[in-house]
């Protein structure tokens, strides 16, 4: 990529990191601070609240321990002003962002409440101490300080409980190496920065190196580990005219490629664009608490202004102003500020004990919408490691152990996933494996080498068919297995069938999902035959195979038209889908990119943990709903009473009663959060 394109890629990473942080933070994009800043603001505000509690009445009610002295009102006003500006700053910033998008929510409601309380309280101090009005005007510094403290505490609890997973796009950018071996016109090789590569240039890639850009092989042959990008464990043979993907890892061969994709045209860049787009869309999701707070904001605004007008027409300005301010202050969501954070903290703790790390709790609120559970195959439903399912001999001169031992001798120095499976099977059978000589790779075919004076080959089914070699009927392994044939003197001596083993917990997980009315769907980049074999074994009816990242992303969007989608994956090719889905779940053994794109990480890579996640998520949303009703219920009752709706029969909500109700609702939501039990 060019230097400008390289800079653009890092800009994309920065933007995606901000979007992910917005999703991870309470209130969406509203609390753009780190945990340390919130903690510092909370403790400073809390300490400064102590003198306010000692010297200021609570909603007009003087408590037994409270005291006053000459100038105490001005001291409270000074301290309250500092708390208002310093402690309230995050809420002012959040309200500004909400109002920019014309979506007032929690931050706007808090800002309205503390602003009205502050302005009226300053007016009360001046009226009482300068103009000495009668009766005295009640200030709300007590409510102002405690509301700011509770809201800062709530956001601190939530941010501390929820793990900030970082930026998937940033991890994608890091998949590319820093330098590349550029082949110049005279045939020599120079090391250059990857950011300086251009389309059409020739680059040499040596054994074990990361591929610096998309390209086509010109010279040489090798096998490439594309698992990091495709999620599939098979090494892919590459020879002239084959394509390579930037960020994948070269095998044992050395190749020269011509660059076909850099910057915005490269594979990784396209994946980055998909991830960024998906994360940006998800960051717009409005949380349950924000919706309720938005309703309360409009309710308080309408009732407060309406009550002021009505009382002004029927009573004095002082009475109208006092009633309106009381409405605005009572609307401040003390209990609502803790309703969500306490549930999140409890659920996050229980999730961690069950091997689940929650990175974006707001996504889990979509759990009741979920109708489809889309899953990658390799690494999610299967172990991603090949093992031998069958060994067959086609000649009396070779036993099955001879077939396995000979192939293990030829594969002895290979790190290919299929070779690893054969070697592991030979060790498990306690075979004495000799060392083969003259072993060399046959690109796209297998290996050849000499053992005990005989020449052998390990070849693929394609080689067998192309050379018209005879394989006894009925000897083809299980459906979906990968077959490797041992050939000697142009005769097929036997075969080894390997399969990617299904995780032991996967069948129970699929069965439980179906029992719960959810539809399991397999989306995989693997070949259709292998995918169908695994799906049939697990009872999955809907299978989509041979998919590219953009295909998975498109399918996620398609399923979302019919219901909520929970997506589970582990590869770079899963990152856009993880970010796009209503709930993205990454396997803990997967790539950093997949993990950073997800809302939840399965630490133990146990597929049955998906079931535990669904149970916890449903419990979380149920408890959140209960707490919001308890928190908002106080406001629903108190706001109209404070406005004087029952004034015709002689009842107006006393500030003291309002304070008791506020405290009671806060205690109830705290106790309700603690009733959540482990799954």
Cα–Cα distance, 137 to 122 (Å, whole number): 10
Residues of the chain with pLDDT under 50: 1-30, 163-169, 278, 282-285
In a domain, 4, yes or no: no
Tell me what pLDDT residue 21 has: 45
DSSP characters over 217-234: EEE--EEEE-HHHH----
User: Is 316 contained in some domain?
Assistant: yes
CATH number for position 494: 3.40.1110.10
Q: 64 and 159 share a domain?
A: yes
Q: Tell me if 611 is assigned to some domain.
A: no
Q: What is the pLDDT of residue 660?
A: 66
Terminal-to-terminal C-alpha distance of the chain: 49
Tokens at residue 253, please? 């061969």
Residue 188 belongs to a domain with what CATH number? 2.70.150.10
| Structure confidence at residue 25 (pLDDT) | 44
Read off the CATH number of the domain in which 373 is found: 3.40.50.1000
Q: What is the pLDDT of the chain when averaged over all its residues?
A: 82
- Looking from the CA of 102 toward its CB, the CA atoms found within 13 Å total 0
CB-side neighbour CA atoms (13 Å) of 245: 23
Residues in the chain: 679
pLDDT for position 651: 85
- Residues contacting residue 295 through CB under 8 Å, at least 6 positions apart: none
Nearest to residue 10, comparing CAs of 231, 167, 121?
A: 167
Residues 6+ apart with CB under 8 A from 331: 109, 112, 113, 296, 297, 299, 300, 304, 635, 639
Q: Is the peptide bond before 135 cis (omega within 30 degrees of 0)?
A: yes
Claim to verify: residue 402 and residue 459 sit in the same structural domain:
yes
Query: Could you say which of 220, 255, 277 is where a domain stops?
Result: 277
Residues 6+ apart with CB under 8 A from 434: 405, 409, 451, 452
| Region class of 71: left (phi > 0), else alpha (psi between -120 and 50), else beta | left
Provide the number of structural domains found in the chain. 4
What is the predicted pLDDT for the residue at 78?
Answer: 97
Q: Does residue 610 fall inside a structural domain?
A: no
CB atoms inside a 10 Å sphere around CB 353: 9
Q: Say if 563 falls within a structural domain.
A: yes
The domain boundary, picked from 485, 502, 519, lies at: 502
Please indicate, yes or no, whether residues 498 and 511 belong to a single structural domain of this protein: no
> Does residue 434 contact residue 458 with C-beta atoms inside 8 Å?
no
Q: Which domain holds residue 255?
A: 176-277
The beta-strand segments (E) located in 582-662 are 583-587, 600-602
Catalytic residue among 214, 242, 290, 376: 376
Q: Of the residues 444, 467, 502, which one is the last residue of a structural domain? A: 502
Note whether residue 15 is domain-resident.
no
- State the pLDDT at residue 59: 62
Is 57 in the same domain as 85?
yes
Percentage of the chain modeled with pLDDT above 90? 35
Report yes or no: 534 and 502 within 8 Å, Cβ to Cβ. yes
Phi and psi at residue 649, to the nearest 5°: -105, 10
Is 376 in the active site? Answer: yes
Q: Where are the alpha helices (DSSP H) in 264-376?
A: 267-282, 288-314, 317-330, 334-353, 361-364
Answer whether residue 6 is part of any domain.
no
Asked whether residue 155 falls in the same domain as residue 87, the answer is yes
Q: In the prediction, which pLDDT does 167 show?
A: 47
Residue 241, Cβ neighbours under 10 Å: how many?
Answer: 8
Same domain, 144 and 249: no
Regarding whether 61 and 154 lie in a shared domain, the answer is yes
| Residue 338 shares a structural domain with residue 448 | no
- Strands 600-602 vs 583-587: parallel, antiparallel or unpaired: parallel
557, 494: one domain: no
Strand partners, 459: 485
- C-alpha dist (Å) from residue 585 to 513, 526, 670: 15, 20, 29
Quick: pLDDT tens for 459-505. Answer: 888 788 888 898 887 655 566 677 889 999 889 999 998 888 889 99
Query: Does one domain contain both 47 and 156?
Result: yes
Closest by CA to 91, choosing from 27, 44, 35, is 27
Task: Please indicate, yes or no, whether residues 41 and 155 belong to a single structural domain of this protein.
Answer: yes
Token pair for residue 455? 């020449």
Same domain, 522 and 582: yes
Sheet holding 382-393, edge to edge: 382-393, 491-502, 482-488, 454-459, 446-451, 437-442
Does the reported pTM lie above 0.85? no
Q: Which two tokens stand for residue 435?
A: 């060392």
* pLDDT given at position 338: 78
Residue 522 lies in a domain: yes
């Amino acid at each position: 990529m060019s230097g400008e394109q390289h800079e653009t890629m890092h800009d994309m990473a920065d933007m995606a990191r901000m979007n992910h942080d917005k999703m991870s933070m309470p209130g969406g994009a509203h609390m753009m601070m780190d945990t340390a800043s919130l903690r510092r603001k909370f403790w400073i505000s809390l300490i400064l609240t102590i003198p306010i509690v000692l010297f200021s009445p609570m909603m007009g009610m003087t408590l037994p321990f409270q005291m006053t002295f000459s100038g105490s009102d001005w001291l409270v006003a000074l301290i309250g002003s500092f708390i208002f500006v310093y402690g309230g700053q995050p809420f002012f910033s959040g309200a500004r962002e909400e109002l920019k998008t014309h979506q007032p929510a929690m931050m706007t409601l808090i800002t309205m409440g503390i602003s009205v309380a502050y302005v009226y309280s300053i007016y009360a101090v001046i009226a009482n101490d300068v103009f000495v009005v009668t009766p005295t005007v009640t200030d709300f510094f007590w409510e102002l300080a405690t509301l700011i403290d509770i809201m800062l505490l709530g956001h601190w609890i939530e941010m501390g409980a929820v793990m900030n997973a970082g930026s998937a796009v940033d991890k994608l950018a890091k998949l590319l190496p820093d330098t590349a071996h550029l082949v110049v016109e005279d045939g020599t090789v120079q090391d250059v920065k990857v950011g300086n590569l251009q389309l059409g240039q020739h680059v040499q890639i040596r054994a074990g190196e990361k591929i610096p850009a998309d390209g086509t092989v010109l010279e040489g042959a090798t096998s490439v580990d594309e698992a990091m990008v495709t999620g599939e464990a098979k090494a892919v043979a590459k020879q002239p005219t084959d394509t390579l993907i930037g960020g994948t890892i070269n095998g044992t061969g050395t190749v020269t490629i011509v660059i076909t994709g850099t910057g915005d045209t490269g594979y990784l860049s396209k994946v980055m664009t998909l991830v960024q787009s998906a994360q940006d869309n998800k960051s717009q999701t409005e949380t349950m608490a924000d919706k309720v707070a938005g309703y309360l904001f409009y309710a308080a605004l309408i009732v407060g202004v309406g009550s002021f007008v009505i009382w002004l027409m029927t009573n004095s300005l002082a009475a109208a102003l006092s009633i309106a301010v009381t409405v605005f202050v009572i609307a401040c969501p003390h209990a609502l500020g803790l309703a969500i954070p306490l549930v999140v903290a409890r659920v996050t703790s229980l999730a961690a004990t069950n091997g689940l790390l929650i990175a974006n709790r707001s996504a889990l609120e979509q759990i009741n919408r979920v109708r489809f559970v889309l899953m990658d195959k390799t690494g999610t439903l299967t172990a991603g490691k090949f093992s031998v399912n069958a060994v067959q001999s086609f000649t009396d001169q070779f036993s099955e152990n001879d077939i396995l031992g000979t192939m293990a001798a030829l594969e002895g120095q290979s790190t290919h996933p299929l070779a690893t499976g054969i070697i592991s099977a030979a060790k498990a059978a306690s075979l004495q494996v000799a060392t083969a000589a003259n072993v060399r790779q046959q690109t796209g075919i297998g290996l050849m080498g000499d053992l005990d004076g005989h020449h052998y080959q390990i070849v693929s089914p394609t080689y067998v068919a192309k050379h018209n070699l005879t394989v006894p009927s009925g000897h083809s392994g299980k459906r979906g297995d990968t077959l490797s044939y041992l050939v000697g003197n142009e005769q097929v001596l036997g075969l080894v069938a390997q399969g990617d083993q299904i995780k032991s917990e996967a069948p129970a997980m699929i069965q439980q999902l179906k029992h719960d009315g959810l539809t399991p769907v397999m989306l995989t980049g693997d070949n259709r035959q292998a995918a169908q074999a695994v799906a049939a074994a697990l009872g999955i009816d809907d299978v989509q195979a041979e998919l590219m990242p953009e295909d998975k992303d498109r399918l996620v969007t398609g399923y979302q038209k019919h219901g909520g989608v929970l997506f589970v994956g582990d590869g770079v090719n899963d990152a856009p889908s993880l970010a796009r889905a209503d709930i993205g779940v990454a396997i803990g053994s997967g790539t950093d990119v997949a993990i950073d794109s997800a809302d939840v990480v399965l630490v133990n890579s146990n597929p049955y943990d998906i079931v535990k996640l669904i149970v916890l998520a449903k419990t979380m949303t149920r408890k959140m709903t209960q707490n919001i009703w308890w928190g908002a219920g106080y406001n629903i009752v108190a706001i109209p009473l404070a406005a004087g709706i029952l004034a015709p029969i002689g009842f107006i909500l006393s500030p003291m009663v309002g304070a008791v109700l506020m405290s009671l609702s806060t205690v109830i939501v705290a106790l309700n959060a603690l009733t959540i039990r482990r799954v």
